[in-house]
Structure 1
């Protein structure tokens, strides 16, 4: 109806909605994830009065939130990437702390061990020097044990954190599914009148999930947002949420949704950082430490057994790496079946020459007829084993692999790592100072090898010289005792360990640099979102004043309408 009273009442109701919404904005100015809301008004349909159209007041079309879906999508991706890099950066700093520096780290322990061997060489009959050499051997083994145990503990911590994060993701996913249901119901009633606060809450939950794992978000057009990890298994579909689980298996962290593995699709968030930390730090470092420990044990034991002790008796092994009798071969490598294997395939690994072992682990894949062995990182040539003709291959440097293919299924994978965990098992044997085999051998009148004498140092000198020889990761096997030490083309013991420490430092530095860039991008996107969705208290205060004045004017209009009506009544009395 086109009259002053109805027009003023419609305006009063509209302004009342605007005041309420503005107050809601001010109340949530510091609420994380809140998007500023605004009231959209329009003039009502005018009424034709014979000589023209008269306005009938105003109406509230909608209460919408200031929101940019494109910025929100970018923000989710940036949050995922920043969380991944932050985790790796923090984890790498813990790892470098475990490994120590050049003065206190494990490389320093190897230097101390070889220096102690040099002290024995300088005075072969000195019991004190011999005992110090044994003490340094024990300290080196203890350092290997301690570092490997601490790395294993960090790895165990990843598993515990991953379990807690998976529970959080499931909680968030269930709430997203519940909100999908409520928002879809509201959408069906009126697509232009959606519950803004529920939309904000859902977007905040999805960002919280993205902080923990990378997700892809798809709008179904009916009010629901469906979530999937990468391009794979759905996490939330409409009002149904799947269950995400994590398992810290021997081969690394495994992530699955409703039993379906999605580990290879997890590339962001805290979980992505955990998987990357295991792959680039924990597993390679433990493997490298184990490989170096085996070289130390193998080469020092060989030199010891080649010499004679202070009593003229043949030398005994100094180190044991867990195979029982230290005079026997080194222990076998680690073989881990992939959690996704359908069969019961297995393998036994024997170390034939620790100095030939290459860094990194291997993956053996069964294609239904043969095993194909490759480096996990894709480098180097592949080796094929046909179980119908032979189960054993010696084509992998430094090891012999014997496959048990009886229960193998197509697609089964075995991870083969020669050094994983060995550093945690190396120990010294129970030798006395007199049993250090410092002396070399000579041939007596009977043609037998006997001690060259208690003052001879030719054998212990070999251990001293070994500290400067490239015995880790050689390309060929038998240089022999008389070969030129310069022909050894691997790394030194200390060099190999220093390379491992440097690798951890490099990962930490790379994550730090990339993390700074990711945080800068995240901060920029946060600022962009705030410019669109954030509540500006000055602006809201100005609106409150505007609406207050409008409200007062409309109230005065209503009052005038009442006075005019009263005048009409008085005129007809």
Structure 2
């Protein structure tokens, strides 16, 4: 009787636990991260009798958590990549939308500015057309400022997001450490089994952490899981955790870095982190935001330099040479806060046509008086050896020259940013429309023949071209006179030159009447063309363009800058040249390409994440239909076990009654 009763009791208790577990599954069917549990049963050890082994009932072996560690690891990895791509894509899309929007982008403003320049060239004496040009120039400057402000606002927001993510990662690490400690205690307790709900809680925390940063997990014998990030930094070790914080970058205070702190101290690990939302932010900053700010500044510097150089070659309405149209720019050099020496590094522009949209790092090496200058966009390194002579100035490197005041301590670093702030620093230097230099500085006129009357031949001289202001305006006498003579040049036909370079120049109408070009390079890079057949004594005069208010030659040169290939067309420093608008369009297309690629990558990785998630849910997820069927099955089994106990009781009562009789 005792055997039947024990069998019934063991079954009753086992199916009671099965019913409880099934109810637990149903109750947590909508709980995030919950893994379905199952009661595993096994037979009790049989008892040996005279007729053989007799079964003694059932027992609960374990409450098994339905979980696949391999698929969960794959899911965390896919989640890390998908979150990184999503965050990168969402931020890059903002930059892409700004640059492509005609109401915000720079291209329409550049076009309006040069359109106004062309209108002014058509009527250079008009004050109103000059005022329109100044207005369009101011509007273009404001557009540069607006774009720069948008970029800096994104940078400030990015810094805040990096700080928030660091705090969130640290909080998750603390929670994982606490759960680890709970698992250790539960597993080590007397008769302790597997704390399934704590394991689920830890898995949810790991999943949330993998969205923020790439992690690797190492299980321990005591049930804890150690969590590592970056290049082996231990974020969680058993029941203890390290912390992540956002700190000012030592090389650029406008940027934030990620610092890792544990019992050994604090180190900056920004360059060592990968994956997750945090890496998405860092990659966006390095691959999209900073290059966009630099490329925008490159266009601003190119326009400033070319327009100023040309404007200063012309004459304004008061007959004076033009000044700067835009304020000039300077190269930003930032000392690293960890530098040990007092050496000062400065940089200047040498040839802005060779500038690239890259930052540079100047670093003192362990070799005495040796520095390396690394172009950060592609890692190209230039070695600089000062020879111990200070102050030392380098030759041109990508359009700039670097000066070093004194020897530096090995490891000292300097961040050189030639174009970063140029868009924000762009300002108009002209406010008076009369100061716009539209006229050429010199002009050619027909003079009187040496006989006193007008020139007699068919000779003609073009208006002189110019390329600089050397020896201009012409001085004492302020003319260059070319007088025709049949034997003026070595006994042959040509001109006698009075003023300027003096001497004679050969010109043979018999072979050159269709046009011959002459150069007086020492006078503003001057060149002019002579055509036709002059008569004896005919004279041509090149003079200062005094009172040339209707002259538009310099205005036309300014307008032609729009289509001139004066800038490098590759951000990394190639040889292809580009116009201002093409350099800006390259920025737009580069950001657009990176944004599109990020979208493609996100869609692909998100699809992979979803597949892994579905695979894990097929194992760990609660199926209510299945649980409902189990509920009925275990209920019937429980009732049957109760019936066994009831039968055992009836048999026992019958036996007792028989004995009493």
Give the structure 1 partner of residue 511 of structure 2.
none
1:316-367 Cα offsets, whole Å, 9 max, x none, are: 212125xxxxxxxx31x22345577666665212122222212322222322
Determine if contact 1:294/1:354 at 8 Å carries over to the other structure: yes
Give the structure 1 partner of residue 614 of structure 2.
527
Q: CA RMSD in A?
A: 2.2
Structure 2 residue ranges without an equivalent (≥5) = 443-472, 479-543
After the TM superposition, which residues 430-441 of structure 1 pair with which residues of structure 2 at under 5 Å, given as runs?
A: 430-441=430-441
Give the structure 1 partner of residue 118 of structure 2.
118
Q: How far does residue 104 in structure 1 lie from its aligned partner after superposition?
A: 5.2
1:385-412 Cα offsets, whole Å, 9 max, x none, are: 34623532124121111235555333x4
Give the structure 2 partner of residue 267 of structure 1.
274
Give the structure 2 partner of residue 484 of structure 1.
none
Determine if contact 2:364/2:408 at 8 Å carries over to the other structure: no
Q: How far does residue 222 in structure 1 lie from its aligned partner after superposition?
A: 2.1
Whether 1:465 and 2:466 are equivalent positions in the alignment is no
Aligned-partner Cα distance in 2 for 1:523–1:425:
47
Aligned-partner Cα distance in 1 for 2:288–2:118:
34
Give the structure 1 partner of residue 425 of structure 2.
425
From the superposition, tell whether residues 129 and 519 of structure 1 become closer, same or farther in structure 2 (CA, over 3 Å): same
From the superposition, tell whether residues 343 and 445 of structure 1 become closer, same or farther in structure 2 (CA, over 3 Å): closer
After the TM superposition, which residues 495-510 of structure 1 pair with which residues of structure 2 at under 5 Å, given as runs?
A: 495-510=582-597
Q: How far does residue 89 in structure 1 lie from its aligned partner after superposition?
A: 0.8
Whether 1:564 and 2:643 are equivalent positions in the alignment is no
Provide TM-score, normalisation by structure 2: 0.80
From the superposition, tell whether residues 528 and 345 of structure 1 become closer, same or farther in structure 2 (CA, over 3 Å): farther
Give the structure 2 partner of residue 300 of structure 1.
307
Give the structure 2 partner of residue 400 of structure 1.
401
From the superposition, tell whether residues 447 and 560 of structure 1 become closer, same or farther in structure 2 (CA, over 3 Å): farther
Determine if contact 2:4/2:648 at 8 Å carries over to the other structure: yes
Determine if contact 1:366/1:408 at 8 Å carries over to the other structure: yes
Aligned-partner Cα distance in 2 for 1:231–1:76:
18
1:506-548 Cα offsets, whole Å, 9 max, x none, are: 1110000011100110010001110111111111111101000
Provide TM-score, normalisation by structure 1: 0.91
Q: How far does residue 451 in structure 1 lie from its aligned partner after superposition?
A: 4.3
Aligned-partner Cα distance in 1 for 2:613–2:188:
32
Give the structure 2 partner of residue 483 of structure 1.
none
* Segment drifting more, 121-130 vs 226-235: 226-235
From the superposition, tell whether residues 445 and 159 of structure 1 become closer, same or farther in structure 2 (CA, over 3 Å): closer
Q: Secondary structure at the match of 2:293?
A: helix
Q: How many residues align?
A: 551
Q: How far does residue 221 in structure 1 lie from its aligned partner after superposition?
A: 2.5
Whether 1:545 and 2:632 are equivalent positions in the alignment is yes
1:5-64 Cα offsets, whole Å, 9 max, x none, are: 111111111111111111111111111111111111100111112221111111111112
Aligned-partner Cα distance in 1 for 2:649–2:372:
94
Determine if contact 2:569/2:583 at 8 Å carries over to the other structure: no
Q: How far does residue 313 in structure 1 lie from its aligned partner after superposition?
A: 2.0
Give the structure 1 partner of residue 320 of structure 2.
313
Aligned-partner Cα distance in 1 for 2:341–2:641:
80
* Segment drifting more, 304-313 vs 450-459: 450-459
Task: Pick one of 341, 345, 348 that aligns with 1:347.
Answer: 345
Determine if contact 1:385/1:392 at 8 Å carries over to the other structure: no
Give the structure 1 partner of residue 293 of structure 2.
286
Determine if contact 1:440/1:451 at 8 Å carries over to the other structure: no
Give the structure 2 partner of residue 79 of structure 1.
79
Higher-strand-fraction structure? 2
Higher normalized contact order (CA 8 Å, seq sep 6+, divided by chain length): 1
Give the structure 2 partner of residue 455 of structure 1.
550
Give the structure 1 partner of residue 366 of structure 2.
368
Q: How far does residue 224 in structure 1 lie from its aligned partner after superposition?
A: 1.2
Determine if contact 2:326/2:430 at 8 Å carries over to the other structure: no
